[in-house]
């Protein structure tokens, strides 16, 4: 998924997507341990997707904290 597409999502949608992606990573790891994983590159791609989602959520969290701090000053 592209970053610009993720930035357009709401925080709730991002958290839902993060949960789904983590579930997918779990399933891929189970397949890997069982020896039935066909696309090993998918593991890396899913981990990167999780990192992107967490980064965007953190950016929004920091942006909200700065806005709140600026409004209080």
pLDDT tens digit sequence for 17-63? 999 999 999 999 999 999 999 999 999 999 999 999 999 999 999 98
Q: Integer distance in angstroms from the first to the last C-alpha of the chain?
A: 38
29 vs 37: CA distance, rounded Å: 8
Range of the domain at 39: 3-72
Whether the Cβ atoms of residue 37 and residue 28 lie closer than 8 Å to each other: yes
DSSP 8: T
3-state per-residue secondary structure call for 12-68: HHHHHHHHHHHHHHHHHHHHHHHCCCCCCHHHHHHHHHHHHHHHHHHHHHHHHHHHH
pTM: 0.88
Domain with residue 7: its CATH number is 1.10.287.310
Q: How many domains does the chain have?
A: 1
pLDDT tens digit sequence for 9-23? 999 999 999 999 999
């Amino acid at each position: 998924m592209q970053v610009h597409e993720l930035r357009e999502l709401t925080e709730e949608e991002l958290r839902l997507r993060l949960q789904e992606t983590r579930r997918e990573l779990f399933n891929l790891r189970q397949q890997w341990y069982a020896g039935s994983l066909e696309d090993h590159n998918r593991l890396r791609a899913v981990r990167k997707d999780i990192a992107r989602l967490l980064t965007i959520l953190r950016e929004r969290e920091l942006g909200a904290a700065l806005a709140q701090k600026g409004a209080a000053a």
